[in-house]
Structure 1
Amino acid sequence: MALTRKKGYSIESKTARFTLKRDGIDLDETKEAFNELVSFYFAVVATHPEGTVKVNEYYKVYEGLTLGEKPQYPLPFDAPSVFRRAAIKKAIGAYKSWKTQYDKWSVRPPRHRSHRPPVQPRSFNFNPVFYAGMWKEDTGDSIMLKVRRDRAWIWMKFQYQSYDFGAEWVKASPTVTLKGGQAYLDFTIEKYIPATGGLKTVIGQSDLRICSVDLDLDGHIATCTVLECNDNGVVHEISRMTVPGHTAHVRRRKRTLGRIARKMNQTGSVDKGFASTIFAKISRRERNEGFRISNEIIEFAHRHGCQVIVFEHLGNLKPKRGKYSRRSNQKRAYWLKGKIVDHVRRIAYQRYVILTARVNPKNTSRLCAVNGVEVWRGNHYLPTLLELCQPYEYGGKCFATVTGQRGSSALNAARNIGLRFLSRRFVMPALAVKKAGNVRKAKSVKTGCDRVASKVGG
């Protein structure tokens, strides 16, 4: 049963997929009937689009045109009312999607228009949605579904492989998904999450604690630091962490892409489905690595009681020119960085009510987080005076400054990311560093111009 709105809480939802055991039962007829109804109602909606603006009267408008003693558009076959209403919702959604694309095309300048406008879909391949009344007696490993067999609607019992997703999550209407010869039962599950008031409310709290993350392409892909600030704008570093294990993944990905590049040179032509098995293997590894790294970051932030996880806003990364394997490796590294941010935003809020923000990346690697001077970057901690006088260059795992500061360039960037976020509350947040048992307040850090809209989890 779907959750209802409750004051002081927001409702989060996700999809839980279970393998459906059919025992030779064919569900294609049910899917075909659903898509036939969607096609029928799509034509009705396209003919009478005025009903799409009446949010609470969808069923009244379109069932009034197709039901009754003398309907204007008779139904092609009989179907349960809840099954029919699920098809109406899908048809309205498909029509609104087409209408949005068509309106965007129509307002473009003539030189930017495609040769043809977006056309209405001629067929559909939706998976059937089972509203309440189409399913019952869900025990956790078996369920009764109302399906169509031999042009008749009958109740049938199915077994499915489930897992424990937590007592706080509540099941809503399921969808039967047919994919690759397998059948899956996809439940929409919902959960109450205490409302946080958004970033503007959280950042105003006293003793705010955040986890700032610097994402790299290889090596230690994620460097995290926990920063805590008081009401005076003094920032203390509580803990730090690097996520290990990514080097082996990058090495394996490069080796696999090199194999694909050699095969491409041998064949001379690349057809559809070329090396599909190897590409599928790479995709599974990337997906698993994204979830692994995201989980490490989330658990680290939760252990230290962080209210916000902060990333850089890097949305326009493109691979450099070069060989196929090099470009493909960089492209997948950029994809992985984006997936990590998306996973952290969603899972951290659903699991621990931790928000996620992104900040302007300007000068986060160029300036020192302690005193704000420009840094030298390289692969060692002791640069010569001549090297310190050289202009700033990208790359290098270490940094050093003319004032004697040195350390990890990734950790320095993570600190700057956190300070950039805290500059939304304090004019000049300052990082307090410990030295020889004493705590001294560092010079204020140049935070630059940071008025980029943050993406907030929750």
Structure 2
Amino acid sequence: MGNSIVRTDRWQLAPTPEQVKHLERTEKMYRSYARALIGVVFTHFDQIVSADSPCAATERLIHATKNNPNPRYQYLGRNFYKFPSYLRRAIIQAAIGQVSSFVTRYYRWQQGRRSKRNALPPILNAVTNLHVVLYRGQCILFEEDCVHIKVYNGREWTWEKIGVVGRRERHKLPNSKSLSPSLVMNHKGVFLAVPFQITPPKMGKPKKVCGVDLGLNTIAVASIVSSDGTVTAGRFFNNCAADIDRRDKRLQAIRHKARLTMRKTGKLYKGFCQSIYRKAHNINRQICQLVSRQLVDWTVQQGAEVIVLENLKGWRPKGGKKGSTLRQRFHGWMKSRLAQLITEKFEELGGKVEFVFARGTSSNAFDGSGTVKRSKSNYSLATFQTGKRYNADLSASYNIAARYWLKNIKPTRRNRSGSVSGKSSRTEPRMPGLLCHLWS
């Protein structure tokens, strides 16, 4: 079995209007307690962090017991009568983290490590938007289709039975263990954020890898490549046409409004088309969720143990011609989000995600014939120097997968860029790592 990872599911609850009021009172009291406690923790921060148990040291300052009948700050016990001990300890941990973050940032500001020379010092904010942490067995009990939560009804702490109307499937996995959830309340409803500790199965030595090219014309193109350069499968992930049309329609509306605004004022105001940008961004996020799930499921179906992506961190888009939509499309290209979702989903199944050097994967033909010529009318179409016409993204996915094998399996050809070096003594590689180098 591999190392454990933590993933969080969102369970939707269906409380009655009266139960919603109780939950709101509980959240309000929880945050009020945290606001009062942060000042205590800040005053005695050095004493608390130097103690063997910071949580116990904080409790001695605020909580009366048989061995500690007169704590220094008794108003917390008076104003928050019979406050559950497990909620109190969760707040103590959150308050220590809040104060520790402030002390660290203030110390850096004193040292002169600032974003600007005239930057103001950080401020300790005691008004936090903490979510109520519900310890299993003490503050929450689980049943088949409902949960029992300890809430404050305005007079005392009682148990409320609340139905669960929506959940995911991680609680059914044999290798998952649920941890203490948090109560989340917003304008969309009432939810439980339930974290699960998952121990994914450990895959064996890789025999096949899935090379993935992320693009603009096609969202993703994937190919299954073996260590000897055999391509066994390939797929184009571009079946979100309805979502893409909805997104492009909103981007077109932004361009139209920008032309009208620039004609009158010569510049765009702050927050221009903010709501339309937000909708287009959310559509992109939905596309990433769908494509990442389809790609991971297809990779597992094909028996590949590794997904190989291009390392596009720090990549900056270049604008197209005047009047072109290329720059807007580049800024809406969620390559990092898609790579993150693929990594999270595949690692949960026990797979591994690797990143290789990106330069030259699309501009060089996979058969080693040299650089390709891209069609001006259809940029996805490439013409090799031999005259063969091929899909540029599919050729790039071959090269991406090949660079993984050249980097990990062929030690004589290993270098920073995953390229093949020439016979000369210079340090630069003559030709980037391509699929044809596996054939040789």
Q: TM-score range by the shorter chain?
A: 0.7 to 0.9
Of residues 183-192 and 337-346 in structure 1, the stretch that sits farther from structure 2 once superposed is 183-192
Task: Give distance in 2, aligned partners of 1:10 and 1:31.
Answer: 35
| Pair 1:310 & 2:308 matched | yes
Kept in 1, the 8 Å contact 2:39–2:126? The answer is no
| Pair 1:235 & 2:238 matched | no
Question: SS at the partner of 2:209?
Answer: strand
Compute the TM-score of the two structures, normalised by the length of structure 1: 0.77
Question: Residue in 2 aligned with 1:354?
Answer: 351
Question: Residue in 2 aligned with 1:188?
Answer: 195
Q: Kindly tell me: are residues 367 and 279 of structure 1, through their superposed partners in 2, closer, same or farther at Cα, counting changes over 3 Å?
A: closer
- Following superposition, the deviation at residue 56 of structure 1 comes to 6.7
Q: Kindly tell me: are residues 366 and 279 of structure 1, through their superposed partners in 2, closer, same or farther at Cα, counting changes over 3 Å?
A: closer
1:46 to 20, 42, 50: 42
Question: Residue in 1 aligned with 2:219?
Answer: 221
Question: SS at the partner of 1:90?
Answer: helix
Kept in 1, the 8 Å contact 2:380–2:391? The answer is yes
2:375 to 358, 373, 378: 378
Q: Kindly tell me: are residues 252 and 110 of structure 1, through their superposed partners in 2, closer, same or farther at Cα, counting changes over 3 Å?
A: closer
Q: Kindly tell me: are residues 326 and 249 of structure 1, through their superposed partners in 2, closer, same or farther at Cα, counting changes over 3 Å?
A: farther
- Following superposition, the deviation at residue 175 of structure 1 comes to 1.3
Question: Residue in 2 aligned with 1:170?
Answer: 177
Alignment of 1:411-430 (within 5 A): 411-425=394-408, 426=410, 427-428=412-413
- Following superposition, the deviation at residue 40 of structure 1 comes to 2.5
Kept in 2, the 8 Å contact 1:215–1:221? The answer is yes
The Cα RMSD (Å) is 3.2
- Give CA deviations for 1:250-283 in whole Å, capped at 9, x if unaligned: 443222122244446469775769663x445334
Task: Give distance in 1, aligned partners of 2:232 and 2:51.
Answer: 50
Aligned residues with identical type, % of pairs: 22
Kept in 2, the 8 Å contact 1:428–1:445? The answer is no
- Following superposition, the deviation at residue 403 of structure 1 comes to 4.1
Question: Residue in 1 aligned with 2:338?
Answer: 340
In structure 2, stretches of 5+ residues that fail to align are: 419-429, 435-440
Of residues 397-406 and 141-150 in structure 1, the stretch that sits farther from structure 2 once superposed is 397-406
Q: Kindly tell me: are residues 144 and 52 of structure 1, through their superposed partners in 2, closer, same or farther at Cα, counting changes over 3 Å?
A: same
Alignment of 1:44-443 (within 5 A): 44-50=40-46, 53=49, 57-68=53-64, 69-74=69-74, 75=76, 76-78=79-81, 79-108=83-112, 112-166=116-170, 167-168=172-173, 169-180=176-187, 182-195=189-202, 205=205, 208-218=207-217, 220-229=218-227, 234-263=228-257, 265=260, 276=275, 278-320=276-318, 327-333=327-333, 336-350=334-348, 352-371=349-368, 373-378=370-375, 396-404=379-387, 406-425=389-408, 426=410, 427-428=412-413
Kept in 1, the 8 Å contact 2:63–2:71? The answer is yes
Kept in 1, the 8 Å contact 2:384–2:390? The answer is no
- Give CA deviations for 1:402-442 in whole Å, capped at 9, x if unaligned: 34554211112111111222222213499xxxxxxxxxxxx
Question: Residue in 2 aligned with 1:440?
Answer: none
- Following superposition, the deviation at residue 95 of structure 1 comes to 2.4
Kept in 2, the 8 Å contact 1:140–1:162? The answer is no
Kept in 2, the 8 Å contact 1:372–1:445? The answer is no
Q: Kindly tell me: are residues 137 and 213 of structure 1, through their superposed partners in 2, closer, same or farther at Cα, counting changes over 3 Å?
A: same
Kept in 2, the 8 Å contact 1:129–1:176? The answer is yes
- Following superposition, the deviation at residue 299 of structure 1 comes to 1.5
Question: SS at the partner of 1:193?
Answer: coil
- Give CA deviations for 1:297-335 in whole Å, capped at 9, x if unaligned: 1112111111110111112344555679764443122xx
Question: SS at the partner of 1:399?
Answer: strand
Q: Kindly tell me: are residues 355 and 111 of structure 1, through their superposed partners in 2, closer, same or farther at Cα, counting changes over 3 Å?
A: closer
Compute the TM-score of the two structures, normalised by the length of structure 2: 0.80
Task: Give distance in 2, aligned partners of 1:221 and 1:61.
Answer: 54
Name the amino acid aligned to 2:31: N
Instruction: Work out the number of aligned pairs and report it.
Output: 398
Name the amino acid aligned to 1:156: E
